[in-house]
Amino acid sequence: MGPNLWINYGEAVAAILFCIGFTNLLLQTNLIKKIIGLNIMDSAIYLFLAEKGYIAGRTAPIVTGGVTSVEAYINPIPSGLVLTGIVVSVSVSALMLSLTIRLYIRYHSLDLDEIAAQLKKEGR
C-alpha cells in the first residue's frame, strides 16, 4: 500500500464503483441490469478523471474578471475529456437498449444464456 490512499478517497470510490459496474456487467443475467452496470462503470471512470483535475481552493475554469493566472483555476483538460466520454456512453447505451428491444421481440427473454440455449435448440 502506498501513502496516498486516504487522500485519494475520491479515486478509491471511483475504483470501487468501477468494479461494481464490472461485476454487474459480468454476472447479471438480465440485459437491462447489464446496461445499467455498464453506465455505472463509465461514470466511475469519469469520476476518477474529474478527481484528477480538481485542485483544492480553486474555481471552475471560466475566466472571471479578466484573471488569467494559473493559480486561479482548476485543470480544464479532464473536464473536456469527460464531456467527450459522456457523449460516447449515452450513444452506447442507446444502441444496447435498441438491441435489447429487438432481442426481446424475437425471443421474449432478457437472459442471454437462455436465448443462446433457444438458438441452439432451434438448430440454426
Partner 1 sequence: MSKRKPAEEYHKTFAFHFFSWLQGEKDPYLGNVEMKPQEEYVTDPEMQLRHEKEHDAILDKVYDMEHNRELKLFHRLYQATSILFCLFLMALLLVTISHLPATGAAVKPVNNEVSARYIESGLEETGAVNIVAGMILDYRAFDTLGESHVLFVATITVLIMLRLDKNKKGEPNPLTKDMNPNDRIYEPKNDAILQLVATFLVPIIIIFGIYIILNGHLGPGGGFSGGAVIGAGLILYLNAFGFSKTERFFTEKTYKWICFFSLSFYCLAKSYSFYTGANHLHSMIPKGTPGAILSSGLILPLNIAVGLVVACTMYAFYAMFRKGGF
Partner 2 sequence: MDFVCNFPFFSILISLFSGTICSVLPEKAAKAVNRIVIAAVAVMSGILLLYLLGTGESFVYWMGHFPAPWGNEIRAGILEAGMALFFCIIMYLSMAGGAHKLFDEVEESKHNLYYILINLLLSSLLALVYTNDMFTAYVFVEINTISACGLIMIRQVGRTIEAAVRYMIMSLLGSGLFLFGLCIMYDLTGHLLMSNIKEAVALLIQNGEYQIPLIVSVALMCIGLCIKSALFPFHAWLPDAYGYSTVSSAAILSSLVSKGYIFLLIKIIYRVIGFEIFNNTRIIDVLFVFGLLGMIFGSLSAIKENDIRRMIAFSSVAQIGYIYMGFGMGTQAGMVASVFHILSHAATKSLLFIAAIGLTEVSGGSRRFIDLTGAGYRNKWAGVAFTAGSLSMVGVPLFSGFISKLLFAQAAVQVEGKMLAALIVLGISTVLNAIYFMKTVICIYATTGDTWYPCITFKNMKVHAIVLLFFIGLNIILGVSSQPIVNMIEQGLAMFA
Partner 3 sequence: MTVFQIILMGLLIICAVSVSFSKNLLNSVLIYMSFSLVMSLLWICLESPDLAITEAAVGAGITSVLFFVTLKKIHAINIAEKTEEQTTSQCPAPEKGGSDE
Binding site for partner 1 (CB under 8 A): 1-5, 7-8, 10-12, 15-16, 18-19, 22-23, 26-27, 51-56, 60-63, 68-73, 75-81, 83-84, 86-88, 90-92, 94-95, 97-99, 101-102, 105, 113-114, 117, 120-121
> Can you tell me the distance from the alpha carbon of 96 to that of 103, in angstroms, rounded to the nearest whole number?
11
Q: Which stretch binds partner 2 (CB under 8 A): 55-63, 64-72, 95-103?
A: 95-103
Number of residues that bind partner 2 (CB under 8 A): 36
In the DSSP assignment, the letter for residue 73 is: B
- Applying CB under 8 A, among 5, 27, 97, 116 the residue interacting with partner 2 is 116
> Can you tell me the distance from the alpha carbon of 26 to that of 38, in angstroms, rounded to the nearest whole number?
10
Asked whether 98 and 111 are in contact (CB, 8 A), the reply is: no
What single letter denotes the amino acid at residue 31?
L
Contacts 24+ apart (CB under 8 A), 99-104: 100/31, 100/32, 100/35, 103/31
Q: Which stretch binds partner 3 (CB under 8 A): 13-21, 64-72, 115-123?
A: 13-21
CB nearer partner 2, residue 30 or residue 65:
30
Give the nearest distance from C-beta 81 to partner 2 in angstroms. Answer: 6
Give the nearest distance from C-beta 56 to partner 2 in angstroms. Answer: 16
- What 3-state DSSP class applies to 30? strand
